[in-house]
Structure 1
Amino acid sequence: METKNLIQKSIDTVRVLSADAVQKANSGHPGTPMALAPLGHVLWSKVMKYNPRNPEWPNRDRFVLSCGHACMLQYSYLYLTGYGISLEDIKNFRQLHSITAGHPEYGLTPGVEVTTGPLGQGFANGVGMAIAQQYMAARYNQPDFNIFDYRIYAICSDGDLMEGVTAEAASLAGQLGLGNMIYFYDSNSITIEGDTDLAFTEDVSKRFEAYGWHVQDLPDLNDLEALETAIKKAQDETSRPSLIKVRSVIGYGSPNKHNSAEAHGSPLGKDEVRLVKENFGFDPDRNFEIPDDVLNYYRNAGEESAQSEESWHQLYKNYRERHPELAKEYETITAGKLPEGWKKNLPTFEPGEKLATRKASGKTLNALAKHFPQLIGGSADLAPSTDTNLDDFKSFSSKHRDGRNFHFGIREHAMGAVLNGMVLSNYLIPYGATFLIFSDYMRPPLRLAAIMKIRPIMVFTHDSIGLGEDGTTHQPVEQLIGLRTVPNLTVIRPADANETAQAWRVAIEHKEGPVCIVLTRQGIPIIDQKKYSAAENLEKGAYILSDSEGQPDIILMATGSEVHLILEAQEKLKNENINARVVSMPSWNLFEKQETSYRDRIFPKDVRTRLAVEAASPVGWLKYTTDDGAVIGIDRFGESAPGDEVMAEYGFTAEHVVEKAKALISQNKKA
C-alpha cells in the first residue's frame, strides 16, 4: 500500500542509487538526479502512460531528458519500473559496452526516446515529437477513436535554456500552439562554473509567456501535491505548450555539497556518499541498496501503466474494424513498407534545356508527396528558393494539423533538431531545407541524427560559388567535406535533373542515418541518358557515365554541376586522341558501401592518372585521385559576381579541365 513513508523512501532510493552509480563510475553528474527524484517519481508512478515490456508502444507518452547529463535519474526509473535494464547495468554506468552510457542514447537503452547530451537538443526534439503526434492525430483519429493522444514530457535545465536552439524551438512551439507538450524547467541555479547569476539572470517565466506558453512556477519540487496539481493544469491546457518551472536543490541530501557546483558534474566522494545514505536512513556500508518494498512499488507502477497499452489495443482493434483503410495505411507505413509501384511516379527529364537541380528536386518532391502521406517538411524561410513547397497541400499550423508544409522560420538549428524528433515517431519521413552554407547552423542535430542512425532528409541548395552574386558569405567551400566526414551521414550531390530524381529515390529507400541532397541554384544541362549511362546508377555512389573506346589514359571524376564540364572535356580530349573515362560520383558515402570488385571496376588500379573536379574544398579527393594536386577545387573563399563568371575565374571550365588532364598525363608518363 502506498504511504507517505514509502513514497519518500522510494524517492530517496533513487537519490542514493544515483550517488552510488556516479561514485562507482568515478565520473558523472549526481546532483541533478538527486534533486529531481521527486519529479521522476511523480512522472513514472502517477502521470505517464508507458509499457516497460514494450517501449515502442505507439501511443506511449514520450519522455525527453534534455539535460542528458542527469541520465542516472532516467536509468534509475527505467530499471525500477521494469524496463530491460538490470541492476548490473546500473552498476556499469559509463563503462565500456554498457547500455547505461554517460548520456542517454537512443537504440542503446530500452525506454530512451532520443539521444541527448548537447544541451538544448532534447528540448527541440520534443517539439518535433509533438508535431508528429498532432499530425498523426489529425490524419487517423476519428470520433470516439483517439488512437494517438500521447503527450511529450521533458525535463530541461538552466543550461538548456541558455542555448540558442531552445529559444528557436520554444518560439516555434508557441507559434504552433503545441498543447501536447509539458516541459519541466529545473531551476537549481547551478552550473559547472558556479551560480547561474554569473551569466543567466533573465526572467525565464516571462520569456516563455512571451513565446505563447502556459507557464507555472513551483517554488519547492519536494511538494508532491503541488507538483501533481501543476501537471494536471498543464494537461488541461491543450492550446498552448506548458512550462512548469520547478525550484530544486542540486545534490539534495548531501550535507556538504548540496546547492553547490561540486554536486553538478563530479562524484560526491566516498565519505560524502556515506553521509548521504545516513541522511536518508540507508546503511552507509551497503552500495546499490534497493529495498524490496520500493522495488515492488515501482514494478507495480510499471505494470499498472502497461494496462494502458492493453486498453489501447482493444480500442485499435475496434478502430480497424470501423476504419480499415486508415488502419491499413498506418500499419503499412509503420512497417516500413513503401507504396507499390511508387518509383514509376519519379519524373524523368529530357535533354535540351538547362534546369537547376533544386528545380528538379521540387518537381520530384511534389510527384512523391501524392503517394507518401508520411512525407512532410519545409524550409527555414526559403521554400521559394529551395523549391520545397508541396503545392497540393496546406501548411501545418495551429488550425491545420493535417498540413504538410512546414514554416520553420529562420531557425536552422531548431529545424534540424525538430526534424529528428519527427523522425522518431516511426511514422514520418520529414525533410528540411536551407542553403548549403547554413548547414553550419545545424551541425549538432545532423550529428545526433547520424549517431542515432535515424533518417531526416536535408535539402541543401545553392551549393557552390556558382550561386553567384550573393558572394563570399553565401558561397559554400568547406561544407561538403565537412558533411562527408560525419559517420552514418549520406551526402548526395546529383549531376543533373535525372540524378536528382534518383537521389530522392535513394533517400526514401535509405534505412539508417540522415541523407543530405545537395543542389544547384543555377541551371545546368540535363544529361542525355540515351547517350550516357542511366541516372539510376546514382544508388552506387559513383558510376561510369561515359567510357573511352579503349583503355583510358585518364579518369575524370566530378560531382554535381561539374559533371557536365568533364563530359565536355572528354570530347575535347578525344579530338586529341586522348582516352578519358568520365565518372559521375554523386556520393562518396554510397560508393564506399559497394563491393571492392565494383569499386575497382570504376577505378582500375592500372589507371593511375585521375583528375577530380568539384567546386568545393579539394580535401578528401586524394583517396580517389591517388596523385597530389590532381584536383580542380577551391581552397579560398568566393566572390560576388554572376555565377558563370565566378566559376570561370576559379577554373571551372572544360578548357581548364583539358589543360589539367594533359599536364597530369604528361607528368605521369615522365614518372
Structure 2
Amino acid sequence: MTQFTDIDKLAVSTIRILAVDTVSKANSGHPGAPLGMAPAAHVLWSQMRMNPTNPDWINRDRFVLSNGHAVALLYSMLHLTGYDLSIEDLKQFRQLGSRTPGHPEFELPGVEVTTGPLGQGISNAVGMAMAQANLAATYNKPDFTLSDNYTYVFLGDGCLQEGISSEASSLAGHLKLGNLIAIYDDNKITIDGATSISFDEDVAKRYEAYGWEVLYVENGNEDLAGIAKAIAQAKLSKDRPTLIKMTTTIGYGSLHAGSHSVHGAPLKPDDVKQLKTKFGFNPEKSFVVPQEVYDHYQKTILKPGVEANNKWNKLFSEYQKKYPELGAELARRLSGQLPANWESKLPTYTTKDSAVATRKLSETVLEDVYNQLPELIGGSADLTPSNLTRWKEALDFQPPSSGSGNYSGRYIRYGIREHAMGAIMNGISAFGANYKPYGGTFLNFVSYAAGAVRLSALSGHPVIWVATHDSIGVGEDGPTHQPIETLAHFRSLPNIQVWRPADGNEVSAAYKNSLESKHTPSIIALSRQNLPQLEGSSIESASKGGYVLQDVANPDIILVATGSEVSLSVEAAKTLAAKNIKARVVSLPDFFTFDKQPLEYRLSVLPDNVPIMSVEVLATTCWGKYAHQSFGIDRFGASGKAPEVFKFFGFTPEGVAERAQKTIAFYKGDKLISPLKKAF
C-alpha cells in the first residue's frame, strides 16, 4: 500500500488553495466541492496512467468530472500535473475567451468530456468503459495487451438524482464493466441545502442492486490511505463496476464548511486568508505552488506517464509486425481515418427498384458497410425490430459470462434508456480509436435524450441517431408517437446534421456524410411507410444537403420538401402540370449540410423571382429561411391509418397542388427575393 508523507499533505493543501484562488480571482464559481475532494483527486491522479505531453494516448486512464461545477479542482490538477494549462489560464477562469470556462469543455487537453449538466458525465464514462472493453476484446492478444485502461469518475448527489445516471449505471452493472470506478462525493449538500430535504434514499443499496460493488471511505477529508485502499480494492473487481462512497465536508477548512452557502459562491476574503493560514500558506499571496509539489507530480505522474506511453508505442510496433492486418487496422483507426473506398459499399438505386421504407433502406446500409467499418458500433433502445438497426451477423456486446455475446460484439442492447444511450454514445465517441457509435429509437423519443444530443453538438461528438417512425406516417400509434416539433427543435441546435431522406440514394448520402463527419453529430429521420425510388436522386447530389430533384424551364413555383413529402411533391407537380402550372421540385434532406454549400450553389437551387413553398408533415417553424410559404402541421397529429391521416391533414397531391396555386396567386406581381438572401 502507498505510504503517504508530508509532501502528499502539502500537495493536497496546494490543490485546495489553488482551486480557491481560481474561484476567488474570477469572483465566480464553486469552491466547496474542490475543498472536499482534493484528497481524492491527489490520491487518484498520483496512480493514474496518463501522459500530459500526449493527452490523446489511447491507453491512458480516463478521468471524468461528472460534477462539473467543481471544475476548479480539475483545472488545478491539469496545471499541477503538466498539462498545457498555465497559472495565467487559471487566473482567467470564467473570463470571456479564456481556456478555462465555467464548466469543463472537451476541447481543452486533459478534459475527456464536456460536463456540467448533471448525470451526463457518469453516463459518458459508461460509454468510455464500454469502448475500452470492446477495443481490448478486439485487438488484445495473449502476448500483447494494447488496451487495459480504467475509467474513473467523480460524481455527487446531483448526478445521482438525475434519472440519466440511473439508466446508465443500471446498464453498466448488467454489462459487468469492471474497468469503471466512480467516486461519490457524499457531502450531503446541494444548492437548496441539505440533501435530506429531497434525497434520503440508500444510494449504496441501489447501486448494489444494479450489480455494482460498493466501497466506503468514511473520512474523505483526510484519509489518503483509506482512499488509496478503496481504489486498489475497486481495481480487483474485474466483473463489476465500483462505486466508492466517500464522505466529505463540502468547503472543508472554510468558515462555512458543511453549508450550502459554500457550494456555488466564492469564499469571502477573510475566509480565504484564514484558510491559507490553516493550511500553511501565506495569506497575502495567491496562486502559489511550492516547487516540491511540482516536482512530486513530475515524479509520480508525468515521468511515469511518458515512460508508459513510450513502452506502449514499442509494444504496438511489435504487434504490427506479428499481427499485420489487425495492426494496420488499428493504426488507421488511431489516425482518425476511414478505410479507403469504404463508400463504394453504399447501395445505390434507380426508379426500377421497388418502393421501400427508409428505415429498411437504413438497415441495408448497415448490412452493406458493417464489415468494412470495424469502428462502427451501435444498437437500439429496445426497438431493434422497429428501428432495423442490427445486421444479420451482428454479435451482441455483452459480458462473456452472459452466454449471449462478448465484449468484441458491436451490437448494443441499450434497453429502454434513450437518454443514457445518447450520453453513452458520446462517451464511446470521446474514447477515441475513431469509434462511430449509432443508436436507434423512434424520432419522437430522441426528445427524451435532448440533453445528450445537445452535448454531442456542443462537444463535437459525431454520433449517429437512427430515428425511425419520422412522421404522422406512424398512423395508428397516434399523436403520442408522431413527431411534430422534433426536427424543428434539433434543426435549431448549432452543429448538428438532421437528415430526412426521401429514398434509397438519400439514405446512403445521409450515412456517407454522417460516417465521414469528424465533429458533427447526425440525426437520420426515417420513414415507417414505403417510399418510391426517385428519378433525379443520387448520393452525390443528396450529399450537398439539398438539390434540384426535378426541374422545368421558367418554373411558376418551387416545391421544397423532405422525406416522404418529396415523392408527394413530385406527384403534386404532375397535378399542377395538368393545369399548365410548372413546378420545380427540390429535395432538402439536411439543412445543416445545405447551409455549408456556397451561396451561388444554394441560390441555383432556391433562386430569386420564384415563389417557394415548403412541404413537410411537421412543424413549419424552421422553414422561413428557405421558403416564402410553408405547408406543414403546427398541431399534434391524429390516430388512424397512415393514408387517412395524411389525407386528413391535406397531404395529398391535390392538397399540395391547391396550396401551391394559392401561393402563386398570393405572390403574383411581386418582386421576390430568395429567402436565402440576408442583410447579414
Q: Shorter-chain-normalised TM-score: which range? A: over 0.9
Indicate the residue corresponding to 1:544 in structure 2: 548
Change (3 A) 1:621 1:3: closer
1:464-613 to 2 correspondences below 5 Å: 464-528=471-535, 532-548=536-552, 550-607=553-610, 609-613=611-615
**What is the distance in 1 between the residues matched to 2:235 and 2:410?**
26
Distance 1:612 1:122 in 2: 40
> For structure 1, which segment, 559-568 or 350-359, has the greater mean C-alpha deviation from structure 2 after superposition?
350-359
Q: Distance in 1 between matches of 2:203 and 2:338?
A: 45
C-alpha distance in 2 between matches for 1:78 and 1:348: 49
Partner of 1:242: 242
| TM-score where L is the length of structure 2 | 0.96
Structure 1 residues 466-475 or 299-308, which shifts more? Answer: 299-308
Alignment correspondent of 1:106: 106
Deviations along 1:333-365, whole A, 9 cap, x unmatched? 222222222222112234353211000000111
Number of residue equivalences: 660
Alpha-carbon offset, residue 575 of structure 1 = 1.9
Aligned to 1:366: 367
Contact kept in structure 1, 2:505 and 2:542, CA below 8 Å = no
- The aligned counterpart of 2:460 is 453
Aligned partners of 1:59 and 1:511: how far apart in 2? 21
Q: Report matched runs for 1:97-176 at 5 Å.
A: 97-107=97-107, 109-176=108-175
**1:597-636 paired onto structure 2 within 5 Å:** 597-607=600-610, 609-626=611-628, 630-636=629-635
Whether the 8 Å contact between 1:49 and 1:306 is mirrored in structure 2 is no
Q: Provide the C-alpha distance between the structure 2 equivalents of 1:337 and 1:22, rounded to a whole number of angstroms.
A: 40
Residue aligned with 1:621, SS: helix
Per-residue CA deviation, residues 301-329 of structure 1 (Å, 9 max, x unaligned), is 22223221122122222212211111100
Indicate the SS of the match to 2:367: helix
**Secondary structure, aligned partner of 1:183:** strand
Q: Deviation per CA, 1:172-199, whole angstroms, max 9, x where unpaired?
A: 0000000000110110001111100011
The range that moved more, 495-504 or 8-17, is 495-504
> What CA distance in whole angstroms lies between the structure 1 residues aligned with 2:248 and 2:495?
39
Gaps of 5+ in 1: none
Aligned partners of 1:32 and 1:250 also within 8 Å: yes
In structure 2, the partner of 1:424 is 430
Post-superposition Cα deviations, 1:80-113, rounded to whole Å, max 9, x if no partner, equal 0110000111111111111111111011x21111
SS for the counterpart of 2:637 is coil
How far apart are the structure 2 equivalents of 1:113 and 1:293? Answer: 28
Q: Deviations over 1:559-578 (max 9, x none)?
A: 00000111011112122221
AA paired with 2:8? I
Alpha-carbon distance between aligned partners in 2 of 1:615 and 1:322, rounded to the nearest angstrom: 56
Give the superposition deviation at 1:477: 0.2
Higher mean C-alpha displacement, 571-580 vs 486-495 = 571-580
Correspondence for 2:319: 319
- Preserved CA contact (<8 Å) 1:632 1:651: no
Provide the C-alpha distance between the structure 1 equivalents of 2:344 and 2:45, rounded to a whole number of angstroms. Answer: 48
Letter in 2 for 1:372: L
Contact 1:556/1:580 (<8 A) preserved: yes
Contact 2:125–2:424 under 8 Å retained in 1: yes
Q: Is 1:663 matched with 2:662? A: yes
| CA pair 234-3 structure 1, distance change in 2 beyond 3 A | closer
User: 1:308 matched to which residue of 2?
Assistant: 308
- Displacement of 1:3: 6.4
The answer for the alignment partner of 2:403 in structure 1 is none
C-alpha distance 3-365 of structure 1, shift in aligned 2 (>3 A): closer
Q: For 2:102, give the aligned amino acid.
A: G
1:441-500 deviations in whole A, cap 9, x for unaligned? 101111111111110011111011111000011000000100101100110100112211
Q: For the residues of structure 1 that align with 2:625 and 2:118, how far apart are their CA atoms?
A: 36
1:298-447 paired onto structure 2 within 5 Å: 298-301=297-300, 302-351=302-351, 353-399=354-400, 400-427=406-433, 428-447=435-454
Pairwise CA RMSD of aligned residues? 1.3
How big is the shift at 1:506? 1.4
Q: Corresponding residue for 2:676? A: none
- Whichever residue aligns with residue 285 of structure 1, its letter is E
| Counterpart in the other structure of 2:677 | none
**Equivalent in the alignment of 1:26:** 27
CA deviation after TM superposition for structure 1 residue 533, in Å: 4.2
SS at match of 1:620: helix
Which has the larger displacement, 565-574 or 472-481? 565-574
**Where does residue 230 of structure 1 map in the other structure?**
230
- Normalized against structure 1, the TM-score is what? 0.97
Q: Percent identity, aligned pairs only?
A: 47
What CA distance in whole angstroms lies between the structure 2 residues aligned with 1:241 and 1:303? 29
Report the CA distance between 1:670 and its aligned residue.
5.3
* Structure 1 Cα separation of the partners of residues 350 and 450 of structure 2: 36
- Of residues 444-453 and 292-301 in structure 1, the stretch that sits farther from structure 2 once superposed is 292-301
Query: Which deviates more, 242-251 or 658-667?
Result: 658-667
Residue identity matched to 1:402: S
Provide the rounded CA distance (Å) in 2 between the counterparts of 1:270 and 1:11: 21
Distance in 1, Cα, partners of 2:14 & 2:228: 20
Taking the aligned partners of 1:402 and 1:473, their CA distance within structure 2 comes to 37
Counterpart-to-counterpart distance in 2, 1:504 and 1:3: 53
Give yes or no for contact 2:572–2:653 (8 Å, CA) kept in 1: yes
Instruction: For residue 667 of structure 1, report the CA deviation from its aligned partner.
Output: 1.8
Counterpart in the other structure of 2:673 = none
* 297-306 or 214-223, larger mean C-alpha shift: 297-306
Cα separation, 2, equivalents of 1:220 and 1:48 = 22
Q: What residue identity is the alignment partner of 1:380?
A: A
Could you tell which deviates more after superposition, 494-503 or 194-203? 494-503
How far residue 26 of structure 1 moved from its aligned partner, in angstroms, is: 0.8
Contact 1:53 1:83 in 2 (8 A): yes
**How many Å separate the matches in 1 of 2:366 and 2:277?**
63
Is the Cα–Cα contact under 8 Å of residues 194 and 261 in structure 1 kept in the other structure? yes
SS of equivalent residue, structure 1 residue 516: strand
Paired residue type of 2:592:
N
Kept in 1, the 8 Å contact 2:547–2:586? The answer is yes
Alignment deviations for residues 26-76 of structure 1 (CA, whole Å, 9 cap, x no partner):
11000100111101111121x200001010111000000000000111111
In structure 1, distance between residues paired with 2:625 and 2:363: 33
Q: Could you tell me which residue of structure 2 aligns to residue 251 of structure 1?
A: 251
